[in-house]
Amino acid sequence: AQSVTQLDSQVPVFEEAPVELRCNYSSSVSVYLFWYVQYPNQGLQLLLKYLSGSTLVKGINGFEAEFNKSQTSFHLRKPSVHISDTAEYFCAVSDRGTYKYIFGTGTRLKVLA
Amino acid sequence: DAGITQSPRHKVTETGTPVTLRCHQTENHRYMYWYRQDPGHGLRLIHYSYGVKDTDKGEVSDGYSVSRSKTEDFLLTLESATSSQTSVYFCASSIAGGDTQYFGPGTRLTVL
């Protein structure tokens, strides 16, 4: 069965420091991978996605993620965070065959001044 | 961004009453989804639709039904609301199954 694990429920980090939010998935088939961001009292919006091709994917707001097939990971990174990056981040996986879509439980990023 | 609206945005209701939440999209997306979001659980799929009148169950479908009579509208009905259905409900749509989902702003439902 397909699953997504975001081990860190909360990540505090100081402004201008780098951050990595971890995502691991388990699937026996090929997958598409996504990161979404949710600001307070809003719906989710796409940060970036991996469908095929280069394993390093760049998204909006300076975020990037790297697909590692051998480690079944898709960690999200930003070299220097801002206060405005404070939000909840969700990793998601979809099965290329069935299109079944699974979200992780989310990581709350809090950027401190 | 896809134009997706949800109504109402907030609702308080009593146990045992039926409740209908509406999702409306203007992007002519084929796929539409209903999720609930609860602390510690992330987003869990309730039901989804892959076309007009074509719907299927998600992982937490008990106590919920859906209908899709037009491409743009996807209704979620709680047949007899219970306190365990207090949650934030999100609608989403996508052009293709498995690809980017576009989310509405959410409906906060409280069942007393």
Asked whether residue B50 carries a pLDDT value surpassing 70, the answer given is yes
pLDDT at B1 (0 to 100): 52
**Alpha-carbon distance A23 to A18, whole Å?**
17
Q: How many CA atoms lie within 13 A of B5 on its CB side?
A: 4
pLDDT at A1 (0 to 100): 66
B77-97: pLDDT as tens digits:
999 999 999 999 999 999 988
Question: For the residues B35-53, what does the mean pLDDT come to?
Answer: 92
A73-87: pLDDT as tens digits:
999 999 999 999 999
Report chain B residues whose CB lies below 8 A from the CB of A105. Answer: 40-42
Place B98 in a pLDDT band, splitting at 50, 70 and 90: confident
Asked whether residue B15 carries a pLDDT value surpassing 90, the answer given is yes
Q: Are residues A45 and B97, on separate chains, in Cβ contact within 8 Å? A: no
How far, in Å, are A8, A18, A39, A87, B85 from residue A109 at the CA level? 10, 12, 10, 6, 27
pLDDT at A56 (0 to 100): 95
Q: Are residues B97 and A34, on separate chains, in Cβ contact within 8 Å? A: no
Asked whether residue B109 carries a pLDDT value surpassing 80, the answer given is yes
pLDDT at A2 (0 to 100): 77
- Chain A / chain B CB contacts < 8 angstroms: 51
CB B33, CB B16: distance < 8 Å: no
Question: For the residues A13-20, what does the mean pLDDT come to?
Answer: 97
Nearest to B97 among A43, A46, A99 (CB): A99
Place A98 in a pLDDT band, splitting at 50, 70 and 90: confident
Across all residues in chain B, what is the average pLDDT?
Answer: 94
Tokens representing A20 are 């990595």
Helix then strand then coil, in percent of chain A rounded to 5, is: 5, 55, 40
- Cα distance from A62 to chain B (closest Cα, Å)? 19
Q: Are residues B43 and A90, on separate chains, in Cβ contact within 8 Å? A: yes
Nearest to B98 among A9, A41, A94 (CB): A94
pLDDT at B41 (0 to 100): 87
Lowest-confidence pick of A21-30, A80-89, B45-54:
A21-30
Residues 6+ apart with CB under 8 A from B43: A44, A90, A103, B35, B36, B37, B90
